[in-house]
Amino acid sequence: MTQHHELTRHIPRRGGRIRRVLLFTVVLIAVLAAGTTPRGVVVVANVQAFLEFYVGVFALVGLTGIVVFGLLASARFTPIWMRILAQGGHRALAVMSMAFLAAHIALKVMEGHAAPLAAVVPVAPPLVSLGTIAGDLMFLVFLTGIARGRFIGAGRTWTWRVIHISAYLSWPIAIYHGLNAGRPAKFWVTDSYVICMALVAIVAAWRFGDFLKRRGEVGPRPVARPAADRSPLDEARTDIPDETFWSDLKAEVRR
Amino acid sequence: VSDNNGGSILPLSNRIARLGTGAAVLVALAMCAIVQQTIRQQMAAHQAPVASPSPATVQTTTSKPKRKAKRTAAASSVTKLESKVRTTMRTSAAAQTAFGKQTLGQPNVEVSRVDQGKGWAFGTSAVEPPSGTGVSPYPSIFLAHLTKTGWQVALTGTAQFTTLLGKAPASVVPKTEVPILQKYGAAAPATPPTATGLTLPWSAGQSWTLEQASGTTALQFGGGDGRVLAPADGRIYRLCTHATGRGLLLMLHSNGLASEYYQLTGEPKLTDGTLIKQGTFLGKIGTDRPCGDPQPSAPAALSFAVLSAAHPLPLNGLQIGGWTLHTAGSGPVSAERLGVSVSAGNPLLNFGSLATASPTPKLASPSPSGST
């Protein structure tokens, strides 16, 4: 029995995934069934009204969070533990915001506020099209985020950075779209975004300056070094910018 | 993630990252339900409307038809009646108030029931607002009595109407309709009521667009499946035309309020005074303005207004289907519910009768009006 338990613990990935897909299917069927009852109709309509009103806002706030957390996770002055947490927040918000964005676009198209084509190509009126552009960029950045490993490992860090950094372009466009395309924004909303953008601009400029200063000193990151047999201390080389971070991270993982 | 990771920050970070996936799954589930609902609604929209079988015809009762000559005289007397109603309508204080004392167009008159023998008539009249304003027409119900000096015409909302109502024979005003007409025609209270006891006039669970309507008394609704449903029990009266499927509808409710429906198409055949239940199909939204406005209004919408004591109620503060309407001055209308505000051009959700704080008004007599 213990042995069986041990064994099942070792094949958790596949089993876990199947279980999750099954669970999702069951919940989905339950939700769809509940949606046919009179009470369910009203609840779904409520949810729809809520999402329609707020999901775009959530996507924008999420995107703001992604930018801030992403910046925190990559900034040199943040403590390591905070950078790791920020990384978690960055990933969580990224997945969440993509879902919000998808829901936002789907609802707007379903209600005839935008043509299906306008979801992908900026063919709608300008203010709506800005949303399309921002959304496309966000999706591109999201894809590079998922496929980060492929870029790093193959020594194409620069390709990755340039694409991923277009988030800084997507974000202001999205804010402009969010504040102007729909209902008029309250003053404190506009002000909050402006303050947020100013802070991000300052930190990003700092980071960029830092990067320029160190550009001469930095060489390409060694790829595929056998690290397993080394002690964490060995890896703390000062001439590689991220090395302290990565060695600490590896130590964390091993612990 | 096992417990022996104790002090590490990494599992926590991973857990945070997983929260994102959880939220995404919830959104996905909600979207599935919404898509399902939308498909169901679109399928329902293709279903045929339920129509009442009773035909809409002018009921003419002749108590003592004696000679042909008398009938011709009666016909000419109906023409005189119509003319008299028009004059009364144009000079009526209520219609003047409704449109801010502007020059009124030619009122429509629909004579619904006539008792030529006794010299009584009952019908409806509506006057279209000055062209281009896009406001709902002003609807009224009249009662007329032929005396030696000619037709005495009284419109709802006047003391004369109440007096005539007390004398009118059942052939013209069936007993079942008297209470509701009396209540609607009663003198206006000092402060107009705000709680209407009405739901929104479409299927519960659907969001229709609250359109920008000019004026401060009429609302425009569009979108959804386009099927307009009675927002409460009440008696229905048709105005402007008795042509099939067209016309302005006025519905009197037992709480003394009336609701007005304009720009409908495909209306079911309903006899004046028929008692209809909440949720009865009234017609589909359209652009038809048969009360005299030559310009069709686009896009397809329902023009909706609430009246009390024969006066259109101002939208500001009005409560319908759990929503409270607000108009800042003569600015755009918005609806507010539990802190959520929906401005013109945005979808308004019908919560159905679940949302109505006060119970839906029920009528004392459940039998539909008959004619004698």
pLDDT of residue B366: 41
Q: Within a 13 Å sphere around the CA of A85, how many CA atoms are in the beta-carbon half?
A: 8
Tell me how far apart the 2 most distant CA atoms of chain A are, in Å: 68
Mean pLDDT, residues B109-118? 84
CB-CB contact of B367 with B175 (8 Å): no
Chain A CB within 8 Å of residue B39 CB: no
Mean pLDDT, residues A62-77? 88
CB neighbours of residue A220 within 10 Å: 9
Which of A96, A146, A249 is the best mutation test for B, with the most CBs of B within 10 A?
A: A96
Q: Which of B188, B273, B264 is nearest to B228 (CA)?
A: B264
Confidence of residue B40 (pLDDT cuts 50, 70, 90): confident
Per the prediction, chain B carries an average pLDDT of 77
Instruction: Report the C-alpha gap between A101 and A134 in whole angstroms.
Output: 10
Contact A88 B12 (CB under 8 A): yes
Shortest alpha-carbon distance between residue A125 and chain B (Å): 16
Q: Residues of A with CB below 8 A from B202's CB?
A: none
Q: If you compute the radius of gyration of chain B from its CA atoms, what whole number of angstroms results?
A: 25
What number of residues does chain A have?
A: 255
Mean pLDDT, residues A221-226? 48
Confidence of residue A221 (pLDDT cuts 50, 70, 90): low
Please determine, for residue A150, whether its predicted confidence score (pLDDT) is greater than 70: yes
pLDDT of residue A234: 41
CB-CB contact of B232 with B360 (8 Å): yes
CA distances to A95, B253, B311, B321 from B318, in Å: 43, 16, 14, 10
pLDDT of residue B190: 64
Using one digit for the tens of pLDDT, what is the confidence trace for A93-132?
A: 999 999 999 999 999 888 777 888 888 888 888 888 999 9
Instruction: Report the C-alpha gap between A31 and B29 in whole angstroms.
Output: 7
CB-CB contact of B99 with B150 (8 Å): no
Contact A28 B30 (CB under 8 A): no
Instruction: Report the C-alpha gap between B112 and B57 in whole angstroms.
Output: 8
pLDDT of residue A130: 92
pLDDT of residue B134: 56
β-bridge pairing B346-349 and B234-239: unpaired
| For chain B, percent of residues with pLDDT exceeding 90 | 12
Instruction: Report the C-alpha gap between B92 and A10 in whole angstroms.
Output: 88
Residues whose CB falls within 8 Å of the CB of residue B348, separated by 6 or more in sequence, listed in order: B200, B207, B208, B209, B210, B221, B323, B335, B342
Q: Which residue has the tokens 């999402």?
A: A51
Tokens of A232: 């964490």
Shortest alpha-carbon distance between residue A212 and chain B (Å): 30
Secondary structure letter of residue B347 according to DSSP: E
| For chain A, percent of residues with pLDDT exceeding 70 | 76
Cross-strand bridge partners of residue B222: B209
The answer, yes or no, to whether ipTM is higher than 0.90 is no
Instruction: Report the C-alpha gap between B103 and B106 in whole angstroms.
Output: 10
Instruction: Report the C-alpha gap between B228 and B50 in whole angstroms.
Output: 12
| For chain A, percent of residues with pLDDT exceeding 90 | 25
pTM: 0.52
Using one digit for the tens of pLDDT, what is the confidence trace for B324-363?
A: 888 776 667 888 888 788 888 888 888 876 544 444 444 4
Q: Residues of B with CB below 8 A from A72's CB?
A: none
Contact B29 A102 (CB under 8 A): no
Shortest alpha-carbon distance between residue A205 and chain B (Å): 27
Q: Residues of B with CB below 8 A from A110's CB?
A: 34-35, 38
Q: What is the DSSP string of A53-105?
A: HHHHHHHHHHHHHHHHHHHHHH-TTS-HHHHHHHHHHHHHHHHHHHHHHHHHH
Helix (H) or strand (E) holding B298: none
Q: Give the 3-state secondary structure of residue A152.
A: helix
Shortest alpha-carbon distance between residue B281 and chain A (Å): 18
Q: Residues of A with CB below 8 A from B340's CB?
A: 49, 53
More confidently predicted of B68 and B55: B68
Please determine, for residue B143, whether its predicted confidence score (pLDDT) is greater than 70: yes
Confidence of residue A1 (pLDDT cuts 50, 70, 90): very low
Using one digit for the tens of pLDDT, what is the confidence trace for A39-63?
A: 787 788 788 888 888 899 999 999 9
Mean pLDDT, residues B164-176? 88
Instruction: Report the C-alpha gap between B272 and B269 in whole angstroms.
Output: 10
Residues whose CB falls within 8 Å of the CB of residue A231, separated by 6 or more in sequence, listed in order: none
Residues whose CB falls within 8 Å of the CB of residue B103, separated by 6 or more in sequence, listed in order: B130
Tokens of B29: 């589930």
Tokens of B166: 């007390």
Cross-strand bridge partners of residue B304: B219, B261
Mean pLDDT, residues B286-312? 79
Instruction: Report the C-alpha gap between B324 and B317 in whole angstroms.
Output: 6
Least confident of B78-82, B264-268, B318-322: B78-82
Q: Which residue has the tokens 């993982």?
A: A253
pLDDT of residue A145: 86
| Chain A with chain B: Cβ pairs closer than 8 A | 129
Confidence of residue A13 (pLDDT cuts 50, 70, 90): low
Instruction: Report the C-alpha gap between B213 and B216 in whole angstroms.
Output: 8
pLDDT of residue B213: 64
Q: Which of B316, B313, B323, B317 is nearest to B346 (CA)?
A: B323
Instruction: Report the C-alpha gap between B243 and B239 in whole angstroms.
Output: 10
pLDDT of residue A99: 95
Cross-strand bridge partners of residue B151: B146
- Mapping DSSP onto H, E and C, the string for A198-218 reads HHHHHHHHHHHHHHHHHHHHC
Using one digit for the tens of pLDDT, what is the confidence trace for A197-220?
A: 998 888 888 888 877 887 655 555
Instruction: Report the C-alpha gap between A229 and A226 in whole angstroms.
Output: 7
